[in-house]
Amino acid sequence: MVKVVSVKFKDSGRSYYFDPNSLDLHIDDKVIVESAGGLSFGSVSSEAHEVEEEKIVKELKKVLRIATDKDFKQLSENKEKEKSAFKICERKISEHNLQMKLTSVEYSFDGSKITFFFTADGRVDFRELVKDLVSHFHARIELHQIGVRDEARMLGGLGICGRPYCCKQFLNDFEPVSIKMAKEQGLSLNPTKISGSCGRLMCCLKYEQNSYDDLMKITPNVGATVKANGEVCSVIDANLITGNLIVKPKAEDSVPFKTNRKDVKILSRGKKPKENDEKEQKEEI
């Protein structure tokens, strides 16, 4: 077992293991760590704990110190430099007539490297742009092309639910999402209602799917035969969340009535609607 502390470098995104270096660290402590790209400013997301050696995929770097006032000042200066670098890069993209949209800029803590993140419809030849940026900033320059989901995570905002984007708040990874999930959750297949601000299917469809899978196991499908109020009935509507059912007795001229899945006995579950194979394909990320 190896003693480690978990550190995050962004509000969203994953945590990384570091050697606590005998420091007394607590959650949300700001620290300076030794990383592959030099010194980095991070936040403790999990206090010192032990993990199996197999989980350490790379050489374990050390937490050098708890951030000082000087470190916070340096971080603030970097943020101001990022704003200036963003405007300069946008201007140079226009000068080089490149079909790319700049999303954000990140300075390494010591200022030796500047990373520019952008989106584009296809591949972009930005070699001349890099040369121009290097001559202007006299630092190591990296340009990273990202997807629309990553752009939404970086920029942040509010989803149609009125809450901050899940990818900005707590999701570490993007997982494939499919139209089938929206169908099983009883949602409208209108793209504007099941897509996030990034234009892709909402991430919540994926991480909520397990709950719907459990509910589908105990809820009869539409078309199922159940026994309710002593009568054999067909299910004509079902609400997975509440468990409420609209059922119609088999007898002619019978009137449908409302009941709940806990009050019926399932005689046959019925068949799930056939899915369109093309629509079931997982969305590319």
Cα distance between residue 89 and residue 31, in whole Å:
30
Question: Which two three-digit tokens encode residue 132?
Answer: 């121009």
Task: Decide if 224 is inside a domain.
Answer: yes
Q: For residue 272, what pLDDT is reported?
A: 62
Q: How many domains does the chain have?
A: 4
Residue 141 sits in the same domain as residue 80: yes
The span from the CA of 198 to the CA of 196, in Å, is: 5
pLDDT of residue 285: 37
Q: Is the pLDDT of residue 256 over 90?
A: yes
| CA separation, residue 135 to residues 118, 131, 139 (Å) | 20, 6, 8
285 in a domain, yes or no?
no
The average pLDDT across 135-150 equals: 92
Domain annotation covers residue 229:
yes
Q: Which domain holds residue 236?
A: 219-268
- Per-residue model confidence as pLDDT tens digits over 15-53: 888 999 889 999 999 999 988 777 899 999 888 888 888
Cα–Cα distance for residue pair 90/63, rounded to 1 Å: 35
Mean pLDDT of 213-234: 92
- pLDDT score of 1: 84
Nearest partner of 78 among 45, 44, 40, 43, judged by Cα: 40
Same domain, 250 and 193: no
- Express each pLDDT in 53-106 by its tens digit: 877 877 888 899 999 999 999 999 999 999 999 999 999 999 999 999 999 999
DSSP 59-113: --PBEEEE--HHHHHHHHHHHHHHHHHHHHHHHHHHHTT---EEEEEEE-TTSSE
- Asked if residue 227 and residue 202 are part of one domain, the reply reads no
pLDDT at 128 over 90: yes
- Which of the listed residues 212, 240, 257 is the one where a domain comes to its end? 212
Q: Residue 89: what pLDDT?
A: 96
Q: Are 118 and 100 in contact (CB under 8 A)?
A: yes
Contact 92, 132 (CB under 8 A): yes
Residue type, 283: E
In the beta sheet, which residues pair with residue 27? none
Please determine, for residue 114, whether its predicted confidence score (pLDDT) is greater than 50.
yes
What pLDDT, on the 0 to 100 scale, is given for residue 110? 87
In a domain, 283, yes or no: no
140/83 same-domain check: yes
Domain contains 94 = yes
Same domain, 49 and 87: no
**Of the residues 212, 233, 248, the one at which a domain ends:** 212
Residue 152, helix vs strand vs coil: helix
Percentage of the chain surpassing pLDDT 70? 93
Percent of the chain having pLDDT more than 90? 54
Any bridge partners for residue 106, and if so which?
115
**Is the confidence at residue 175, as pLDDT, over 50?**
yes
**Residue 164: inside a domain:** yes
Instruction: Identify whether 137 is part of a domain.
Output: yes
d(CA 7, CA 110): 18
Provide the pLDDT for residue 78: 94
- What is the pLDDT, as a whole number, of residue 284? 40
Question: For residue 87, what is the domain's CATH number?
Answer: 3.30.300
Q: Tell me, what CATH number does 254's domain have?
A: 2.30.30.150
Among 16-30, 35-49, 139-153, 208-222, the least confident range: 35-49
In a domain, 90, yes or no: yes
How much is the mean pLDDT over the chain? 88
